[in-house]
Every structure is written in C-alpha cells, then in structure tokens.
C-alpha cells in the first residue's frame, strides 16, 4: 500500500494572505485524516511565509491525538536541515526535536526558492548530512532525503552510508512531461532511481506536482512506492470538489484501503 500524506502548506498560504486565523491548517489536517489520509506533511521555512512554528506544534498535537485513539497517522516535517535559527524560527532540527514526527524529510531549500526545485547532490553533501541524519534518527524519526529522478546508484550508496531510511523522488520534471504528453524519459528516470534505491535497502517516497491525472501512471510504474506527499494540486482540486472527496479520490488511485 502506498501511503498518502497530505501537505497542508497551501492552506497556510491562504490564511496568511489575510493575516488572520482562517482557513486553519489544523482543521484542514483534521478533515484530511477523517477522509482517510495516512499522514500530514508540513514544510516550514525560516521566513514562515506559510506554515508557522505554532502550526508545526498544533498539528503535532492533532496527529498525536488520533494515534492515541488508535488511528495510525504519520506526521512528516520537511525542510532544509541546515536552516539555522532565525527570529522565532528555531531551526529545522530543533523543530523536529520539539515535535518528534514519524518522518523528517530533508530538502535542499534555499531562502529564495518559491518551492522545492531540486534534490540533494549526494556526492557533495552526503558527508555533511550524515551527522544531522544521525541526530534526527536518535529523536525517533525515519529520515528521507529529497533526490532528483535519475540519481545514480553510487549516490544512493552515499545516502545509505549517511544513515537515510528512505529517499523522496522529486517528481516535478515527470509531472511537467506528463502534462506535455510525453513522459517516457522522465518516468523511466523515476523508475531507475526507485529500483536502485530499493536494491540498496532504501524505502521510496515521491512528491512534487503530483495530481489525480499523473499519479496513477507513477504508481503503476513504481508499485512499491511507500508514500506520496501531495499538497499544491490536492488543495487546488479541493477548491472545486471539497477537501474530503478529493482526499478520497487520491486514495482510490493509490489502491483499496483495508
């Protein structure tokens, strides 16, 4: 079964555009979980332009309450592990220490990036990542590294050596090619990286610009996908169809739930 983790960042973007409390990302997380989502993803950035530090803590408490009632829900916090403290932002590792998510997904985000747009260069950065991966795992987190489709097996060996449990394949190039009508090359790159990761004992996640049109082909090509993290398209589609029905539509694409 491929888990669906709903990224609620875009709900926070809409809230922050007015500077008030609505719409509340916490309530969006609750609706998504009630509709069957397997997890919730947040991607706080140092400038807190969408998900804020208080949101990270509030959603952690919400997820914990579901787990305490016997409903298994995973919390995934994404971000740049090298991001230092700035103002009220305590730094990525400290946020994880405070909230203890099931998974920490490490992404090479710079401050100027509108959104994530590339994976780690593991040849250059695996050694630098290793101590942070070790620290996060000591906090009880599964650690996933954001990588480009087409990442070589030798670089995936470096991910293993750094202590990573999973990779998350950056799927925007695949999604763009799918929309243009010919995604064979980009999908093959995703498959090669996924299969090489599995051969090295790494779990495989995927995310970025996945939607109801392109998700099925990716799932069919990589049936052993552990998780997809979807936010922008899912929240956009929910504006027309409603959040709960949209979550259920994605779950149907990923396969029948028990």
For residues 73 and 38, the answer to whether their CB atoms sit within 8 Å is: yes
Q: Which one from 43, 50, 186, 237 is the annotated catalytic residue?
A: 43
Q: Which two structure tokens, joined as six digits, stand for 181?
A: 């009508």
Active-site annotation holds for 186: no
In 3D space, the residue among 126, 153, 141 whose CA is nearest the CA of residue 95 turns out to be 141
Q: Which two structure tokens, joined as six digits, stand for 102?
A: 């099931």
For residues 91 and 83, the answer to whether their CB atoms sit within 8 Å is: yes
Q: Which one from 78, 168, 186, 227 is the annotated catalytic residue?
A: 78
Which residue stretches of 25-119 are H helix? 25-34, 53-68, 92-99
Q: Which one from 168, 208, 227, 237 is the annotated catalytic residue?
A: 208
Active-site annotation holds for 208: yes
Question: How many whole angstroms separate alpha carbon 108 and alpha carbon 236?
Answer: 25
Q: Return the SS3 of 21.
A: coil
What contacts 223, CB < 8 A, 6 or more positions away? none
Active-site annotation holds for 20: no
Question: How many whole angstroms separate alpha carbon 78 and alpha carbon 43?
Answer: 5
Catalytic site positions: 43, 78, 208
């Amino acid at each position: 079964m491929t888990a669906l983790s709903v990224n609620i960042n875009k709900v926070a973007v809409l809230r922050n555009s007015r500077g008030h409390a609505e719409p509340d990302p916490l309530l969006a997380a609750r609706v998504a979980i009630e509709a069957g989502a397997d997890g919730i993803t947040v991607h706080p950035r140092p400038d807190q332009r969408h998900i804020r530090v208080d949101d990270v803590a509030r959603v952690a408490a919400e997820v914990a309450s579901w787990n305490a009632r016997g409903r298994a829900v995973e919390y995934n916090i994404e971000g740049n592990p090298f991001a230092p403290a700035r103002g009220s932002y305590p730094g990525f590792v400290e946020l994880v220490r405070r909230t203890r998510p099931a998974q920490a997904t490490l992404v090479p985000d710079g401050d100027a990036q509108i959104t994530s747009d590339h994976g780690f260069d593991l040849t250059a950065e695996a050694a630098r990542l290793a101590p942070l991966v070790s620290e996060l795992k000591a906090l009880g987190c599964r650690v996933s590294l954001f990588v480009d489709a087409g990442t070589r097996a030798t670089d995936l060996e470096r991910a293993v050596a750094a202590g990573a449990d999973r990779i998350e394949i950056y799927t925007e190039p695949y999604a763009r090619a799918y929309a243009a009508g010919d995604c064979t090359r980009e999908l093959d790159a995703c498959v090669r990286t996924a299969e090489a990761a599995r051969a090295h004992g790494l779990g495989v996640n995927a995310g970025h610009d996945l939607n109801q049109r392109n998700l099925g082909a990716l799932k069919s090509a990589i049936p052993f996908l552990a998780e997809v993290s979807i936010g922008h398209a899912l929240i956009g589609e929910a504006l027309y169809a409603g959040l709960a029905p949209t979550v259920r539509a994605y779950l149907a694409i990923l396969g029948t739930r028990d």
